[in-house]
Amino acid sequence: MFRSLIALAALFFAFAAPAYAQQQAVSAQITIHADRPGAKISRYIYSQFSEHLGRGVYDGIWVGPGSRIPNTRGIRNDVVAALRELQVPALRWPGGCFGELYHWRDGVGPRPQRPVRLNYFWGGVEESNAFGTHEYFDFLGQIGADAYVSANVGTGTPAEMSDWVEYMTSASHSALAQQRRANGREEPWSVPFLGIGNESWGCGGDMTPEFYADLLKQYAVFARSGRDPHPAVVAVGPSGDDYHWTEVVMAQAASKMDALSLHHYSLPTGDWSRHGPARGFGEDQWIATLAQTLRMEEFVTRHSAIMDRYDPQKRVALFVDEWGTWYDPEGPSSGLFQSNTLRDAIVAGVNLDIFQNHADRVRLAAIAQTMNVLQAMILTDGPRMVRTPTYWTFMMYRPFKETTSLPSEVDAPAYRLGETTAPSIHASAARAEDGKIIVALVNLDPNRAATITGRIVGADASGVSGQILTSGAMDAQNTFDAPDAVVPAPFTGAAVAHDRLTVNLPAKSVVVLTIQ
């Protein structure tokens, strides 16, 4: 299947290439320091986030064992196959804001007997609890991902969280472990990551950082599994530029956490009352979205600097466990469904570059969200499924997992429109265990190609191959009727000779190179 998609994309690119060649290319330079290896790039920065919101879980993941849509124990087979191919490292669940309403006991035991609750954060819809703890871990097993469980602090208690951890992880004959066995799971599950609340400064309880820090210390005492290793405790961190939150929580509770979260969404308008359209937008919205997403560099850098003061050994990781684009929902009852276009693929590449360039502190990131919600990897419509341009960016970045980051410096003309300015070229680089160098290049400019010349310091290259993701339109998308409109194609616009690299990078494109 993947090879056929590549072939179709290559055909498209062959016809489109003359249009790229006619553009007036700008000149840029890149220096990759293979002689200065940095931190290992954690595979967990390519993780996902799925919340009980809209059609993110129901229809997107869970259709029920009686559905005509092919499924395994109620979980869609097509979605599982696509996510297994993507090699999702971890999946955060059940929220999000919904997690602060979620009581785990509602989602275990015979499904017909589970209580129906109201999800009043997301439209006041009825939550059947058909997809609960056992279904979540079944899904993880089918796609090959690790668990990142978000515990309820807003309406929950430390005792409820502690019971849930014991239910999931204990190999003993305690009442909770026996209850898990009675519900169909003999062996305990592994829970590598445990979030202590979600957005406690907002939907998680409208707390001050001082109040949350005290709660974190209390909850962390009881965040113990029935076996080693215990889950990594993930503290609620800031939204965007709330540096005060990071300062207080790190000062008061750094020793009680293994990671601090960070959330940032890219809105074209920067206005939560009017986000901007997901498609049919102009170049002003294109550059505005990229300017918003580029703030991630500032946030990661400055929050990391605060963390360095209280944790100079970098024991505490920074988890960017909610990030992505947020546009106006498509329809009054859409559940935050939005189209996914080439613009989102560019956003994904920029963010992954930032995380890879800060691998010393950023060790997990989870895009929002996996299915049918916000910057989704996959969209479904009844029995139909489509992989989005964002999915394909993640696919192209797979070679970076567990590689060693290499510093890179880019000197390129700015991309400007009106009063808004962004760098035209974004990049990251790494060395794989087999010695190959992986380079990602993103051209943010939708109009101008770039001729990039560079040097790979400390390496002697003999060959290069790569893939490209691009299209003729800024809002090009994959639809259910045309699912292969924006897919990766082989890239032949790069050449190497010893320590020299040349790349002809088309406008509005993501390119990933493998250099030998």
Would you name the residues annotated as active-site residues? 199, 322
Residue 481: strand, helix, or coil: coil
- Distance between CA 223 and CA 433 in Å, rounded? 35
Are 237 and 304 within 8 A, CB to CB? no
Residue type at position 287: I
- Distance between CA 91 and CA 99 in Å, rounded? 14
Nearest to 328 by CA among 291, 374, 393: 374
Residue 500: both structure tokens together: 């020299």
Give the chain's largest Cα–Cα span: 71
Whose tokens are 């109201």? That residue is: 118
The H-assigned helical ranges of 231-366 are 243-253, 283-293, 295-310, 342-357
Residue 41: strand, helix, or coil: coil
Nearest to 511 by CA among 82, 30, 24, 42: 30
| 494: Cα separation from own chain's centroid | 28
Q: Are strands 71-72 and 193-196 parallel, antiparallel or unpaired?
A: unpaired
* Burial class of residue 65 in the structure, from the number of CB atoms within 10 Å of its CB (0-12 exposed, 13-18 middle, 19+ buried): exposed
* Burial class of residue 125 in the structure, from the number of CB atoms within 10 Å of its CB (0-12 exposed, 13-18 middle, 19+ buried): middle
Residue 325: strand, helix, or coil: strand
Provide long-range contacts, Cβ within 8 A and 24+ apart, for 5-12.
5/484, 5/487, 5/488, 6/487, 6/488, 6/489, 6/490, 8/484, 8/487, 9/484, 9/487, 9/488, 9/489, 10/489, 10/490, 12/489
Nearest to 257 by CA among 302, 286, 216: 216
Q: Residue 229: count other Cβ atoms within 10 Å of its Cβ.
A: 9
